[in-house]
Structure 1
Amino acid sequence: MTEKFDHVIVGGGMTADGAAKAIHETTPDATILILSADVDAPYTRPALSKKLWIDPDYTEDDNDLGTVADSGAELRLRTMVESIDRTARTVTTTEGDVVGYGRLLLATGGSPAALDLPDDDRVISFRTAEDYRRLRSLSGGGRHVAVVGGGYIGTEIAAALAQNGTRVTLVFPDDVLGGSVFPAEIAATFEKAFEEARVALARGRRVESGTADDSGIHLVLDDGSTLDADAVVVGLGISVDDSLAADAGLAVDDGIVVDERLRTDDPDVFAAGDVASYPDAILGRRRVEHVDNAKSQGPVAGRNMAGADEVYDHTPYYYSKVFDISYEAVGTLDASLDTVVDDKGDGRSVAYYLGEDGVVAGVLLWNVEEARDAARETLAAGAVPRDELVGRI
């Protein structure tokens, strides 16, 4: 071992940023090392598919989180951790460097889902700021980009491109865009917004394969049809990066298992953010891949690493903005569940998703603001009679 830090953080996203700043605020003299596989210092990830595309005054410089300046941490980019030795309390990088730790935070997040497509600069599995810059260079000027995936990230990217001089075809498996997530009437409104923006919708389709040549990328869909584009963006979510923890003998189950203080079964190892399976105070054990969770869990993990004894009791929400639609959600959104839609008029709705015995499992706030706490209270209330849901929020 050539060096040791009081705190080592594996991962360079928003969770790492929040943890490093919290450690520094709690114990200013502590040494902190962030080992990040990214090529950029920590940044605000949601802006990659939203604000950087729709706010001309917002730049990548604005998107930098200022982690090193505000935390005093040492940041090593382009660095992958290969293994953890919990007995020696060290991590080893793929370059063979061995670093000791007093406390360790695993904030490894996930890797973007990929398809059987060519290894080509014009094919992007969207996740990082580097991916954003590459997509920027491939878009605009009437060029044609195929976006694969009709979920959270795919629809945001499709909307962003359509608002920046790009022809877009969106490939997704649902019969109606958003149909697997939103109640039917809301999904119809969602799809209409894309149609009005002249996004071509390849409904009910999946990508089987593709080829690349000088003229572009050529996709083969599951019905045998083909789609030619100048570039392809894959936005199909992530696969959780918990193998480092598993190889070190830590408990994993669709993520790294932590307790209510974000501690693994090793008292010196913590996990937070996209990779953490934690016991939510309202909804039970879950793993959440959204910014509110990353921003909230990171500081709690950091303070606990620095000696606090803080319970993570926040139930996170997620949000999206496409065209003139803004929505927020808490809990599980699954259109196969029984739903109650409270139409507020003026394009505003609240949808309640009911699980077993009428227990509210999720709340969708469609163009409704300042209601997240009310949504959480509804989830905490358990079974609410259907006739009491309309007007509750």
Structure 2
Amino acid sequence: MESFDYLIVGGGMVADAAARGIREIDSDGVIGILSADVDEPYTRPALSKKLWTDPDFTADQVPLRTADDTGAVIRLRTLVTELDRDGRSVVTASGERIGYRRLLLATGSKPGDADSPPSDRVLAFRSAADYRRLRELAGHGRRIVVVGGGYIGAEIAAALVQNDTVVDLVFPDAVLGAATFPPAIAERYESLFADAGVNLVRGRRVERVAPLTDTVTLTLDDDTELHADAAVLGLGVTPVTDLAETAGLRVEDGVVVDEHLVTSDDSIWAAGDIASYPDRLLGRTRVEHVDNAQEMGRAAGRSMAGAAEAYRHTPFFYSAVFGIRWEAVGSLDAELDALVVDLEPDDDGRERTVVYYRDDSGAPVGVLLWNVADATDSARLVLADAPTDQHELRGRIR
């Protein structure tokens, strides 16, 4: 049986960061990465952002070169279907058994799907292969329907409309971003898309997706039909925790880990989208964004290799559309009380705003930085101090 000192299940950015973290402590241990993907680890955010909008960012900058930099053995198209804790091994879909001394679960998330027959014209956008296929389908004035107004749906709609594509964006809210942003920010956000020419289909859900040979028909919940060359589904993601659950690890809204990212089995770690961890500012939480993938992956690798360090990083998340970037730390929920603080416009005259999301006591539980750069550390300090006085909050991030 092939065996590794460090075995990583999952081939995304967490796996890359973990391999690098291991190498910071252990230069000799053998690292194996089992990935169901067809590509070696790559920078995922570029798939919906810079590859579409930055001509200086090219496809050869997407791979992370994990094997070259760390010496890890990467097995692609390898789906792990069973975790044998007693035998310290995993079993792949082909029936191969692979052993480990220490194991990291970094299985990430799977995208939401719609009621649709399989078709290469209907993409649940997640992977580099999805990006390549969407590039083939986009441009030349073709029409693409994007379903869902969350991070991925909005970014894909923005990317496509800037690349000679007619875009319909279908989402359930009355205003794009209304579930995340306070009303004034949501209206500002939506106007970016409307001004760019995105056809906003507000307050609607997709009931059926019917792909044909060269087209796709989407039926909405009011029986309206949209006809397009392709459809992209941005319906959120679900953490892939089935391996951990079947193996009897503790799973509660993610694989439960301690401050060292160790699961209920002391030879198994978990990191990234699937890990429910104790954040020093947010409490026990699970984060599905790139900053957490990179920082937690590195911390997990170091922990696997023997570093006695707790994971103390509170991650931020971000999005970028039409030249506007927003960042956030903590909870962004439009149902929370929001204190909106407008700052001086930037040098190009664009609005800059800080939003403090507050719980019933008035303490901030989330901070949104709209077009405000280099302030995530300040946002973390706000959450750590948790001031309830409005005047004090207004002056914290200037």
TM range (shorter): over 0.9
Letter of the structure 2 residue corresponding to residue 392 of structure 1? R
- Identical pairs, percent: 57
Letter of the structure 2 residue corresponding to residue 54 of structure 1? T
Aligned partner of residue 357 in structure 1, secondary structure: coil
Shift of 1:215: 4.5
**Counterpart Cα distance in 2 of 1:26 and 1:68:** 17
1:227 aligns with 2:226: yes
Shift of 1:236: 1.6
Shift of 1:170: 0.3
Shift of 1:324: 2.0
1:352 alignment partner, one of 350, 353, 356: 356
Aligned partner of residue 192 in structure 1, secondary structure: helix
**Per-residue CA distance 1:317-365 (angstroms, 9 max, x = gap):** 0111100211000000011110000011420000000113112110000
Shift of 1:385: 1.1
Greater shift in the superposed pair: 308-317 or 16-25: 16-25
1:387 alignment partner, one of 371, 388, 391: 391
For residues 15-94 of structure 1, what are the structure 2 equivalents within 5 Å?
15-94=14-93
**Counterpart Cα distance in 1 of 2:58 and 2:102:** 35
**Counterpart Cα distance in 2 of 1:305 and 1:367:** 38
For residues 113-152 of structure 1, what are the structure 2 equivalents within 5 Å?
113-152=112-151
**Counterpart Cα distance in 2 of 1:241 and 1:173:** 26
Letter of the structure 2 residue corresponding to residue 361 of structure 1? V
Q: Which residue of 1 aligns with 2:207?
A: 208
Greater shift in the superposed pair: 138-147 or 213-222: 213-222
Shift of 1:25: 2.6
Q: Which residue of 2 aligns with 1:262?
A: 261
Shift of 1:167: 0.5
Letter of the structure 1 residue corresponding to residue 376 of structure 2? R
Shift of 1:223: 1.1
Shift of 1:384: 2.1
Aligned partner of residue 278 in structure 2, secondary structure: strand
- Say whether the 8 Å CA contact 2:361–2:388 is kept in structure 1: no
**Counterpart Cα distance in 2 of 1:324 and 1:24:** 37
1:365 aligns with 2:369: yes
Q: Which residue of 2 aligns with 1:275?
A: 274
**Per-residue CA distance 1:276-303 (angstroms, 9 max, x = gap):** 0000010000000000000000111001
For residues 294-313 of structure 1, what are the structure 2 equivalents within 5 Å?
294-313=293-312
**Per-residue CA distance 1:176-234 (angstroms, 9 max, x = gap):** 00011001111111111101100000000100002122341000101111111110000
Normalization by structure 1: what TM-score? 0.98
Shift of 1:391: 2.4
Shift of 1:22: 1.5
1:183 aligns with 2:182: yes
**Counterpart Cα distance in 2 of 1:83 and 1:323:** 43
Shift of 1:383: 4.1
Q: Which residue of 1 aligns with 2:348?
A: none
Aligned partner of residue 45 in structure 2, secondary structure: helix
**Per-residue CA distance 1:42-71 (angstroms, 9 max, x = gap):** 000000000111111222211110100011
- Say whether the 8 Å CA contact 1:24–1:72 is kept in structure 2: no
Q: Which residue of 2 aligns with 1:171?
A: 170
**Per-residue CA distance 1:72-105 (angstroms, 9 max, x = gap):** 0000000011111111101111111111100000
- Say whether the 8 Å CA contact 2:204–2:220 is kept in structure 1: yes
- Say whether the 8 Å CA contact 1:8–1:104 is kept in structure 2: yes
Q: Which residue of 2 aligns with 1:340?
A: 339
**Counterpart Cα distance in 1 of 2:352 and 2:387:** 24
Aligned partner of residue 358 in structure 1, secondary structure: coil
Aligned partner of residue 6 in structure 2, secondary structure: strand
- Say whether the 8 Å CA contact 2:171–2:201 is kept in structure 1: yes
**Per-residue CA distance 1:256-294 (angstroms, 9 max, x = gap):** 000010000111000000110000010000000000000
Letter of the structure 2 residue corresponding to residue 49 of structure 1? S
**Counterpart Cα distance in 2 of 1:57 and 1:368:** 24
**Counterpart Cα distance in 1 of 2:285 and 2:272:** 11
**What is the number of residues matched between the two proteins?**
392
Aligned partner of residue 356 in structure 1, secondary structure: coil
- Say whether the 8 Å CA contact 1:355–1:361 is kept in structure 2: yes
- Say whether the 8 Å CA contact 2:110–2:237 is kept in structure 1: yes
- Say whether the 8 Å CA contact 2:114–2:209 is kept in structure 1: no
Letter of the structure 2 residue corresponding to residue 368 of structure 1? V
1:101 aligns with 2:100: yes
Letter of the structure 2 residue corresponding to residue 332 of structure 1? S
- Say whether the 8 Å CA contact 1:357–1:383 is kept in structure 2: no
**Per-residue CA distance 1:120-165 (angstroms, 9 max, x = gap):** 1000000000000000000000000000010111100000001111
Letter of the structure 2 residue corresponding to residue 171 of structure 1? V
**Counterpart Cα distance in 2 of 1:16 and 1:215:** 37
Aligned partner of residue 294 in structure 1, secondary structure: helix
- Say whether the 8 Å CA contact 2:387–2:393 is kept in structure 1: no
**Counterpart Cα distance in 2 of 1:386 and 1:35:** 50
Aligned partner of residue 201 in structure 1, secondary structure: strand
1:243 aligns with 2:256: no
Aligned partner of residue 284 in structure 2, secondary structure: strand
Normalization by structure 2: what TM-score? 0.97
**Counterpart Cα distance in 1 of 2:116 and 2:87:** 42
1:376 aligns with 2:380: yes
**Counterpart Cα distance in 1 of 2:109 and 2:187:** 31
Unpaired segments of 5 or more residues in structure 1? none
**Counterpart Cα distance in 1 of 2:374 and 2:194:** 29
